[in-house]
Structure 1
Amino acid sequence: MKILLLGEYSRLHNSLKEGLLALGHEVTLVGTGDSFKNFPVDLSFEPKLTTKNWFFTFLKKVVFKLTNLNLEETEKGIRFYFLLPKLKNYDVVQLINSNAIETHPSWSIKLLNKLFSKNKNWILLICGDETSVVDALLDKKLSYSILTPYFEKQVPANYFDYSLKYTKPNYRKLYAFVSQNVSQIITSDFDYKLPLDSLNIKNTFLPNPINTDLIDYVEPAIHEKALIFLGINKKNAFKKGIPFFEKAVEIIKQKYPSKVEIIITENVPYQEYIQLYNQAHIVLDMVYAYDQGYNALEAMVKGKVVFTGAEKEFMEYYQLTERVCVNALPDVDYLVQELSFLIENPEEIINISKRARAFIEKEHHYVTIAQKYVDVWSKK
């Protein structure tokens, strides 16, 4: 099978590609690298002029201020247009988002129309912000979500512009075009499946693929101090509930000055991020979540104890009776209590670590998940 994967935000498509290649399929991954994360792609439409050239970077700011036109989006669209001759005769085209090309929505529709006309089966993967997901969250279909800080006015409303843009008419039109043309909608975890289910939108849930062959398990060796890692992406900090973690670790530092070491990073490239948290025993990932995202899963496969989403829907689906991670809640006292328990009971860090690795190998193995994708794509 010849497969085109369009877009990359978390390494999901890279791991899926590795699984598909192991199964003998031909795969091309097209994307921008997602800014500072710099994910590998086969064909790139990265906007180099408007992000790396000082003159065009300055011009981009001036034009946006005067006209509200984003020249970076324009550049992505132009670069993708010139890739189109190479993107044909694929058996499957999977978009990581309705806005996978990341250009002006009206341009996206025209470019996708050209792309779809040259290829066969089109799939929409929902693994992040999307029109249908944001609609459900705005309707408060879930008890809490990445929009909780928006409802509680914890930060200015414009902080949520990226998520809320999906509710604007031009993005709605783009989502409608994509969702009406694809044969399948796939969701990657419960943070996207639950919102779509609440709106009665048919979707197929396929867990994130993790390449366990590339990631070694290291059993936590806890000597004098427990090492806690908090990696912050400033753009998404409030949406993830990071302030709860920041307050919790400040209390933990005061409570256990000789028993813990805290590592905090901000906006570092993916590879550097991985290297920094390799030494940690505990990783603080996300509060506003029902399931684990990609960073959490990669930390779990390494044997980290991860504070992330692990709500009852997750526990019930996988029929878990013991914790493979810690369900993080938007409650500082609760987080301090859970961290304190682990610091005072280091053997539990080791127990959760072992269960986390076993869970990923069983439920998220990249080749097993890749085959599930192929099975879904093959449905008529």
Structure 2
Amino acid sequence: MKILLVGEYNRAHRNVKLGLEELGHSAKVVGLTDGFKKVKVDIEIKNYFESGLLKKLKVLFVKLFNIDILSLHLKHQINSKKQELSNFDIIQFINEAPFGCDRNTQKTLFELLIEWNKNPFLLSCGTDYICVTHSYNKKFRYSILTPYFDGKGSKKDYSSPLSYLTKSHKILHDYIYNTIKGVISNDLDYHIPLLGHQKYLGMIPHAINLSKLEYSKPNIKDRIVIFHGINSFNYYKKGNDIFNDALTIIAEKFPNKVDIIITKDLPYKDYIKSFDKAHILLDQVYAYDQGYNALEAMAKGKVVFTGAEKEWLDYYNLEEDTIAINALPDAEAIAKKLEWLILNPEKIIEISKKARQFVEAEHDHIKCAQNYLEKWQAQIESRE
């Protein structure tokens, strides 16, 4: 089969593509390169208006003429690539708004791509209408909107998730759900809000290409190395402020036992190498499950503080603090877990080994690709 995967977040589609190719299918990823992360895609849709003078020009055009030149440019690019983007057996969109422009234009781009291809599906990856509504209504114990309700940061910090609650996005959401043959999630933060929806086909865990991630047993000598990679755009939504507070506690309590590495806004190829010498990685706070950065670090043998909530433990039948450490929105609680590991370094080695085994068992990209094929095919056959 020929599969077109539209949009990219953190290699979510790229790894599925590689798995599909291993299984003998043809797959292409089209989309932006996920901002500063610069994730590789097969057919790149460029955004020249992200920064500098061109960004200022875009803002000026909107103010003076109510014209979004980014939207015009994106439509031109998609139309110019019609031949490359047509006649696929399956098309899957990574999100309800993967193109980074206004919702009316996003709807036009969806319509074009669906018209040119067969069997449209949606992946619930990243925030979307159903997930954000669940969070906004406080149905999670905590979520990426918890710092918004707590008054942290500015309204601009939450403009992206809250945009999924606007009238223009609801129109786009309704169109997509009326058109697709099904929606799949790739972790529990998206799975839980979708439970019971008639279009929901179930969860397929994030696909990880383990062949590119070599396991390294922690080599612990006199100091424990802790790594914290900050994404400025998501600073509060990821709980980076809470991690920083926890690290302050640890640095003061164990000045001779820890080394702390902090980076900011690294492209993926640099990020994946930057934590190699770390024993512990701080990923994100407001999550029930792990995302790509956490899983890839776990595959490389790091002890990761991330989403590892009770729902995740129950789903995979795991015990607490054996695979990953659940990062609660509480700096003192995180510091206590860090202290436990610092004082019991044998636990770092034990968790490291089990983390790799877990990723191999549940997230292998070829197994995940096979799962996608089965869900797509079952849905297609049920509608014939």
TM-score (norm 1): 0.95
Q: Deviations over 1:71-129 (max 9, x none)?
A: 33442332222222321111110000111233322222222222212211111001111
Measure the CA separation in 2 of the matches of 1:46 and 1:20. 25
The 10-residue stretch of structure 1 (100-109 or 340-349) with the greater mean CA deviation from structure 2:
100-109
Query: Where in structure 2 are the equivalents of 1:310-349 lying within 5 Å?
Result: 310-321=308-319, 323-349=322-348
Contact 1:15 1:211 in 2 (8 A): yes
- Among 121, 131, 151, the residue aligned to 1:133: 131
Measure the CA separation in 2 of the matches of 1:347 and 1:100. 43
Measure the CA separation in 2 of the matches of 1:96 and 1:309. 21
Match of 1:185 in 2: 183
Structure 1 91/249 Cα, relative in aligned 2: closer, same or farther at 3 Å?
A: same
Task: Confirm or deny that 1:56 pairs with 2:54.
Answer: yes
Measure the CA separation in 2 of the matches of 1:104 and 1:133. 20
Contact 1:225 1:260 in 2 (8 A): yes
Measure the CA separation in 2 of the matches of 1:69 and 1:228. 47
The 10-residue stretch of structure 1 (148-157 or 282-291) with the greater mean CA deviation from structure 2:
148-157
What is the deviation of 1:174?
Answer: 0.9
What is the deviation of 1:326?
Answer: 0.2
What is the deviation of 1:258?
Answer: 1.0
Measure the CA separation in 2 of the matches of 1:198 and 1:263. 43
- Among 138, 144, 147, the residue aligned to 1:146: 144
Contact 1:99 1:108 in 2 (8 A): yes
- Structure 1 residue ranges without an equivalent (≥5): none
Secondary structure of the 1:378 match is: helix
Measure the CA separation in 1 of the matches of 2:72 and 2:236. 28
Contact 2:20 2:27 in 1 (8 A): yes
Match of 2:356 in 1: 357
Match of 2:213 in 1: 215
The 10-residue stretch of structure 1 (169-178 or 350-359) with the greater mean CA deviation from structure 2:
169-178
Measure the CA separation in 1 of the matches of 2:112 and 2:324. 44
Secondary structure of the 1:176 match is: helix
Structure 1 74/358 Cα, relative in aligned 2: closer, same or farther at 3 Å?
A: same
Contact 1:93 1:122 in 2 (8 A): yes
Query: Where in structure 2 are the equivalents of 1:74-153 lying within 5 Å?
Result: 74-153=72-151
What is the root-mean-square deviation in Å for CA atoms of aligned residues?
A: 1.7
Match of 1:44 in 2: 44
What is the deviation of 1:155?
Answer: 2.2
Contact 1:141 1:198 in 2 (8 A): no
Contact 1:142 1:195 in 2 (8 A): no
What is the deviation of 1:196?
Answer: 2.1
What is the deviation of 1:63?
Answer: 2.5
Task: Confirm or deny that 1:261 pairs with 2:259.
Answer: yes
The 10-residue stretch of structure 1 (128-137 or 76-85) with the greater mean CA deviation from structure 2:
76-85
- Structure 2 residue ranges without an equivalent (≥5): none
Measure the CA separation in 2 of the matches of 1:320 and 1:188. 19
Q: Deviations over 1:176-234 (max 9, x none)?
A: 11111111100110111112227787341110111111110000001111110101111
Measure the CA separation in 2 of the matches of 1:250 and 1:133. 33
Measure the CA separation in 1 of the matches of 2:62 and 2:252. 46
Measure the CA separation in 1 of the matches of 2:13 and 2:246. 33
